[in-house]
Amino acid sequence: MKKTISVSLLGLLALFGASMSAFADTAMSWNLARDVILAKESAPQGSPWSFMQNSSGVNKAENYVPLPYFKADSCSNLPATCWMDQVSGAHVSVHLKPYTYTANGSFTIAAGDVAFHPGQSSQTVIRWTSPVVGEVNILGRVSSIHSSCGDGVAWSLNQGDTVLQSGSLGRGNGAVFSASKVPVTKGSALYVVLDKKANYVCDTSTIDMLITK
């Protein structure tokens, strides 16, 4: 089921703040923005988060491959850390300072926000690989923030190849997703998949995501 609201989840996510030790299998929560903002390498040891793309045209986990380029602290002359494919344009970035885009319309990304964009012919994928056995709760929000052009984005929350929730966003709109008591084992994966729909341009989006045990 898709829900659309106008408020940010950042305040709610802040309530679950913890240190980078959240990578440990004894952690009770994993906050996407909190966990990756200090990343200095593409795949920090023990991190459950990874960033991928799918250019196969078939939305299955076996087709997801890691984004090949990583840059910490300064990416494309922005104060951000990013994972990207410089050919397709697919990317995920976490912003260290506020950033305002002013070409072809405008939007602002706040410090600490995670932004992502599909590629010209690929989906962008955020993966959480479970370090625990049991049940987890998922709370998140995906927002299309480039409201001046394009046709918006489509998204899905997947457990393996099973779609738990999905939606289609018009430009400038957002949706909350949530799921309770999702069974996981060590090594099983949850995915948020961002798709360009028909038009690749103006698809910059942000995501908040919190997983709790």
- The whole-number average pLDDT for the span 151-167 is 97
- The whole-number average pLDDT for the span 8-19 is 40
User: 51-84: per-residue pLDDT in tens?
Assistant: 999 999 999 999 999 999 999 999 988 999 999 9
Instruction: Say which amino acid occupies 7.
Output: V
- The whole-number average pLDDT for the span 42-56 is 95
Buried b (16+ CB within 10 A) or exposed e, 100-137: eeeeeeebebeebbbbbbbbeebbbbbbbebbbeeebe
Which of 66, 47, 91 is CA-nearest to residue 200? Answer: 91
Q: What is the DSSP letter of 209?
A: E
Are residues 51 and 125 in contact, defined by beta-carbon separation less than 8 angstroms?
yes
Q: Which domains occur in the chain, in start order?
A: 10-18+25-38+61-212 (2.60.120.380)
* E strands present in 59-122: 65-66, 69-71, 80-84, 91-95, 99-101, 107-109, 114-117
Per-residue pLDDT at 105: 84
User: What would the two tokens of residue 112 be?
Assistant: 């600490």
Confidence check: pLDDT of 1 > 90: no
